[in-house]
Structure 1
Amino acid sequence: MLSLYIPLLMVAAFLLFEWIFVSCLSIIPTTFRDYSVSTKQHDTPLLVYILLFTFFESGLIVRTIQEVHHLGLPWIIFEFLSGCIPFWIVSCLALRMGPFMHNLSMSETIGNVYGRYPMIITSLSNICCATVVVAIQMNIISLAINICLDWVDPRIVTFLTILLLGCYTVIGRMRVFSLTNIGQLVAFLITPLILSCWMSMRMDEPLLELLGRLFMSQAKNHLNNLSHSDFNAPAILSLFLANQVSCIQPLMMQKVYMSSDHFQARSVFFYTGIFGAIMKFFILLFSLILLSAAPTLSLTEIWSYIVTGMPPALKGLVAISLLSAAMSVADTYLNTPAVLFSHDIVEGMMDQKWIPYRYQIRLAKLIALLMGLVAMLLNTHCSDLMELCKLHLDCFIPIAIAPFILAVLGFRGTSRTALMGMAAGILAIWSWNKWVEPITHINGAFPSMVANCLAMMVAHYFFPRPKKELKQTKQSNENHQPKLY
C-alpha cells in the first residue's frame, strides 16, 4: 500500500523544491528589460541549456512516441531532422540581426521596420500562439498525473501545479527561469534512456543486444515494415516544412535578444542544433524499441503499456520528468505574452512611451495570470495533442514569420505592405482550414506563410506608394542594416 504513495511523494517533493528554489532566488528586477530579457550577460552554455529545454518539452516527447508508433519510418526521419535544422536556420538569421539586438521581442523588431500596426498584429498572433502552447503543457501535466498516479484525481494535481506556475511566474524573472530550467533539463534528459532500459528488461533482452538486433541484424526488416505504414506523405511534408520555421517564434527569438550580440546568438542556436539532434536520437530510440515491443498498440494504449508493472520510484521519476518539462515551458510561455502585451501592444498604441516601469511589471504579471486561465479553458475545450500542435502552428506561421524573415534579410517595406501580407496569410489559413484541410488532411500553415510572402512582394513592387511612405522606407533602409541585394 505504501508503494502507491511513493510517486505522489516524489512529485510533491519536486513541486516543493521548485517553490523554495524560485522564492529564495527571485530578485525584484530593476528595469522592464531585466524582467523580459534579463541582463544579456548569460554564458553561451547557459543559453544553450535554456533553449534546449524550451524546445524539448513534454508535448514533444509524448507526440513523438505516439506518431512514431503510428507512422513509423517517415516520422522518425521527420523528427530527427526537426531536432537540428530549425535551430540552424535561426543561427543563420542571427548573423543578420545585429541592428535589432537592442529589441525586447520579435514584435518590436517588426514594429521598427514596418510600423505600429504590424507590430500589434504580430504581438496578438504570438500571444495566441503562446496560449496554445501553455494549453499543450496543461494537457501533458494531466497525462503525467493520469499515467503515473492513476489513483489520484488528475484535475486536483493539475490545478495545484498550474497555481504554482502562476505564482512563480508572477514573482520570478528571466534569470530565475534560466537557473530552474537547468535542473529540470537534467531530470528530463535521462528519461528516454531509463525508459529504454525498462523496455529492454520487460522484453527480457539486454539493451545492447536489443540495439544490435534493431540496428544491425534486423534493422533492414524493421525499416522495410515501417516504410509501408499508412501515412499521408503530403501532410507529413507540409508539417515538416512548417516545423522547420517553427523556431522563428517569439519565445525562441527571445533567446536571440537575451544574447550579448548576434555572434553569440549564432553560436547558441548552432550548438543547440547539435545537441538537439542527439536528444532526438534517444527519444526516437525509445520510440523504436516500444514499436518493436508492441507494434499493435493504439495511440490511447501506449502510455498505459509503458507504465504497466513499472516500479513506483520509476513512475515517480517519469512523472517528475514530464511535469518539469511542462512547467518549464509553460512558465516561460506565460512570461512571453505578458511582455508582448505590456511592452508592444500597450505602448504601441500610444504616441509616447510614458508608462512607468512599475505599471509595466504589474500589467505583465496580470496578463500572465489571465493567459493561464484562458489556456486552461482551451485545454478543456480541445484535449487532442496533435490538434493543439497544429493550432499552435496556425497562430503565428501564416502571420508573423514572412515579414520577420524579410525584415532580417534587409527588405524594407511599408506598413501597408506588411498589413497586406498579414491579411493574405490570415485569409489563406482561414480558407485552408475551412475547405482544404478537411479533404486533404494537410496542414496549411506553411502554404499560408508563402501566400503572406508573395502578397508582400506584390504589394511592394506593383502598387504605387505615396511619397510619405517612400520617405519612411528610405529612412528605414538607412537605420537598419544589412540590406538584401
Structure 2
Amino acid sequence: MLSSSFSIPYFLIASFLLLNLGVGLASRKATTFRAYAVDDKRFSTVKLLATLLATSFCGVVLVSPVQVCYSYGLLQFCLMFVNAIALWLTSLAWVRMAPFMHHLSIAETIGSVYGNYPRIITALLSIWYTISTLIFQINAISYIVTACLHSVDPNSMIVLAALVIITYAAFGGIRSVTNTDVLQFITFIIIIIIVAKLMFVKTGKSFLEIIWFARKQEKFKLSSLCYPDSHLWDCIVYFLFCLLSIVDPAIIQRMYMCSGPIQVKKVFLYGSFLYVLIMLFICLIGLFVFSSNSTLSMEEIWGYIVTSLPSFLQGAIVTCVLAMATSTADSYLHLCSIIVVHDLMASIPGVKPIVDRLQIRVARLAILGIGLFSMIMAIYSNDLWKSFSSIVFYVYTLYNVVVSAPFILACFGFRGSARTALVGMAMAILMSLACKKFRFLIGIPACVASMVANGCIYSRHWLIMNCIPLFS
C-alpha cells in the first residue's frame, strides 16, 4: 500500500493531469483550419492575457530563478525581469502590427515581405526552436520530480504528461490550448504564492529584517554590480539577447490571436506588469531560502525547499512545474502544427491547396510526431542529450539572429526582396559561426554581431531603394 506521504502528492499530480485532459477535450472542436489556428480571433483580453503569461512562464522559470537569486545575488536578480521589458516593448509597437494581423505565423509574415524561401527558412528554424523549448520543459519536469518525489520515476511522469499534452493539443486546436492555459496559469500562480508564503514563515523574520539581512551580504549590495568579477558584460549580453524574445514564435502567435492592434497593446502591456509581479514572488522564494540558510549549494536549494514544506505540498511543487511546462509546451506544439501545414506545405511548388479537414488532420499528425520526437530525445540517455543539446542550443541562437532583424525591420516599414533577405540570413549565420570561433579574439558575442550584420543588409537595401531616388 502507498504511504500517505506518497499517495497525496501522487493523487494531486494525477488529478491535475486528468483535469487538463478533460478541459482540453471538452473544448469545442474546430471545423476550419483558421478556427483550428486562431479560433477566428474571438478571444477575450483576459483569456489572451492568461495564455500569454502561461506561455511566457515555462517550467525552467520556476526552477532556475530561485537558484540564481539565491546563489548570485542582485545582478542576476535584475536579469530575471528582462522578459517583462520585451513584453512592454511589444505593447509599444502595437500599431506596427496592423498589416500582419491576419497572418497565422511569423513565417507567413516574413514570407509576405521577403518571399517564399525566407518563409521556408523561418519555418524550419521555428520548428527547431519549438523542439528545443519542448526539451527544456521536459528536463525541468524531470529535475523537479527527482528533487521532490524520490519514489516516482521521472521518465514515467514525463511520458504521462507528454501524452496528455499531445492528446488535447492535437484534437482540440487553439481552443483547447487556450482553455488549458487558463487552468494551468491559475494553478501555478496559487502554488507559487503558497510556497512563497510558507518559506517566508520559515525564516521566522519580518520582511524588513530579511531585507536588512540581504543588504549586509556583499552580493546583494548595489556596489556588487560594478565589481570586475561580476560578469557584468556577460549579463549585458544576456539582457540584449533576452530582449529578442520579442520575436519568439509562440509569443508572436499570441499577437495574431488578438482581434486587432488595440487588443495587442492591452494584452502585452498588462502582461508586462503581471510578469514583474509573478517573477517577484518567484525570486522572493530564493531570497527567503537564503535568509533561512545561506550555506546551501545550488544543487541543494530545491531539496531544502521540499523538506521544509508539508508532504502534500511536495506534490504541489511538482504540479506547479508541470503547469508551467505544459502551458508552454502545448502552445509551441500547436504553433509547430500551424507552421508545418500553413507555411511548409503551402510553400512547396506545385502542391495544390488542400481542404480544411485534411489540413487539420496533417496538423494533428505534426503535433504527434514532433511531441513524441522531443520526448524521446529528452529522456533517452545522457550521452545522447549532451551530443544533441549543442545542436539544439545553436539552432535556438540562429533563430534569433536570423529572424529578429527582418521581422522587426518589416514591422517598421522596411521592405526588401527575397535576395536581400537570403543574403542577410546568410550573413547572420556566417557572422555567428565566426564569432563563435574567434570570440576571445574580437570580444564580440555571436548574437549581437550577427544581428547587427543581418540588420545592416536590410537597412542598406532600404536606403538604396528609398533615399537615392530622392536625389536622382
TM-score by length of 1: 0.87
Shift of 1:148: 2.1
Mapped to 1, the partners of 2:261 and 2:267 lie a distance apart of: 10
Question: What is residue 7 of structure 1 aligned with on the other side?
Answer: 9
Mapped to 2, the partners of 1:151 and 1:229 lie a distance apart of: 45
- Confirm or deny: 8 A CA contact 2:101 2:255 kept in the other structure: yes
- Confirm or deny: 8 A CA contact 2:168 2:176 kept in the other structure: no
Structure 1 stretch 129-138 or stretch 419-428: which is displaced more?
Answer: 419-428
Q: Does 1:366 align with 2:365?
A: yes
- 1:394 pairs with 393, 397, 421, which one? 397
Shift of 1:447: 3.0
Question: What is residue 445 of structure 1 aligned with on the other side?
Answer: 447
Question: What is residue 67 of structure 1 aligned with on the other side?
Answer: 68
Q: Which amino acid aligns with 1:70?
A: S
Mark the runs of 5 or more structure 2 residues left unpaired by the alignment: 467-472
SS in 1 for 2:151: coil
Question: What is residue 165 of structure 1 aligned with on the other side?
Answer: 165
Q: Does 1:429 align with 2:432?
A: yes
Cα 1:30–1:77 change in 2 (3 A) is same
- Confirm or deny: 8 A CA contact 1:137 1:326 kept in the other structure: yes
Mapped to 1, the partners of 2:266 and 2:124 lie a distance apart of: 30
Mapped to 2, the partners of 1:392 and 1:242 lie a distance apart of: 14
Shift of 1:202: 3.2
Shift of 1:376: 2.6
Mapped to 2, the partners of 1:190 and 1:389 lie a distance apart of: 33
- 1:16 pairs with 18, 27, 43, which one? 18
Question: What is residue 302 of structure 2 aligned with on the other side?
Answer: 303
CA displacement, residues 16-36 of structure 1 (integer Å, 9 cap, x when unaligned):
1222222222x3211111111
Question: What is residue 145 of structure 1 aligned with on the other side?
Answer: 145
Shift of 1:456: 2.5
- Confirm or deny: 8 A CA contact 1:242 1:393 kept in the other structure: no
- Confirm or deny: 8 A CA contact 1:137 1:330 kept in the other structure: yes
Question: What is residue 124 of structure 1 aligned with on the other side?
Answer: 124
SS in 2 for 1:373: helix
Question: What is residue 187 of structure 2 aligned with on the other side?
Answer: 187
Question: What is residue 46 of structure 1 aligned with on the other side?
Answer: 47
Mapped to 1, the partners of 2:294 and 2:83 lie a distance apart of: 25
Q: Which amino acid aligns with 1:214?
A: I
Shift of 1:416: 0.7
Cα 1:151–1:375 change in 2 (3 A) is same
Question: What is residue 346 of structure 2 aligned with on the other side?
Answer: 347
Q: Which amino acid aligns with 1:449?
A: M
- Confirm or deny: 8 A CA contact 2:90 2:246 kept in the other structure: yes
Mapped to 1, the partners of 2:150 and 2:436 lie a distance apart of: 36
Runs of 4 or more consecutive aligned structure 1 residues displaced over 4 Å after TM superposition? 225-230, 386-393, 437-440, 459-462
- Confirm or deny: 8 A CA contact 1:42 1:258 kept in the other structure: yes
Cα 1:87–1:353 change in 2 (3 A) is farther
Mapped to 1, the partners of 2:136 and 2:438 lie a distance apart of: 26
Question: What is residue 237 of structure 2 aligned with on the other side?
Answer: 238
Shift of 1:173: 1.3
Mapped to 2, the partners of 1:298 and 1:426 lie a distance apart of: 38
SS in 2 for 1:57: coil
Q: How well do the aligned residues superpose, as a CA RMSD in angstroms?
A: 2.5
- Confirm or deny: 8 A CA contact 2:31 2:357 kept in the other structure: no
Structure 1 stretch 222-231 or stretch 299-308: which is displaced more?
Answer: 222-231
- Confirm or deny: 8 A CA contact 1:103 1:257 kept in the other structure: yes
Q: Which amino acid aligns with 1:44?
A: T
Shift of 1:122: 0.7
Cα 1:437–1:186 change in 2 (3 A) is farther
Q: Does 1:29 align with 2:30?
A: yes
Q: Which amino acid aligns with 2:60?
A: G
Shift of 1:67: 2.0
Shift of 1:199: 2.2
- Confirm or deny: 8 A CA contact 1:114 1:412 kept in the other structure: yes
Q: Does 1:221 align with 2:223?
A: no
Question: What is residue 376 of structure 1 aligned with on the other side?
Answer: 375
Question: What is residue 261 of structure 2 aligned with on the other side?
Answer: 262
Mapped to 2, the partners of 1:20 and 1:159 lie a distance apart of: 18
- Confirm or deny: 8 A CA contact 1:256 1:265 kept in the other structure: yes
Cα 1:434–1:167 change in 2 (3 A) is farther
Q: Which amino acid aligns with 2:128?
A: C
Mapped to 2, the partners of 1:110 and 1:445 lie a distance apart of: 20
Mapped to 2, the partners of 1:395 and 1:188 lie a distance apart of: 31
1:282-293 equivalences in 2 (<5 Å):
282-293=281-292
Question: What is residue 197 of structure 1 aligned with on the other side?
Answer: 197
- 2:208 pairs with 212, 229, 243, which one? 212
Mapped to 2, the partners of 1:437 and 1:239 lie a distance apart of: 17
Q: Which amino acid aligns with 1:415?
A: A
Question: What is residue 409 of structure 2 aligned with on the other side?
Answer: 406
Shift of 1:214: 2.6
Question: What is residue 330 of structure 2 aligned with on the other side?
Answer: 331
CA displacement, residues 21-70 of structure 1 (integer Å, 9 cap, x when unaligned):
22222x32111111111120111121111101110122112121222233
SS in 2 for 1:190: helix
Question: What is residue 466 of structure 1 aligned with on the other side?
Answer: none
Mark the runs of 5 or more structure 1 residues left unpaired by the alignment: 463-469, 474-485
Mapped to 2, the partners of 1:398 and 1:72 lie a distance apart of: 29
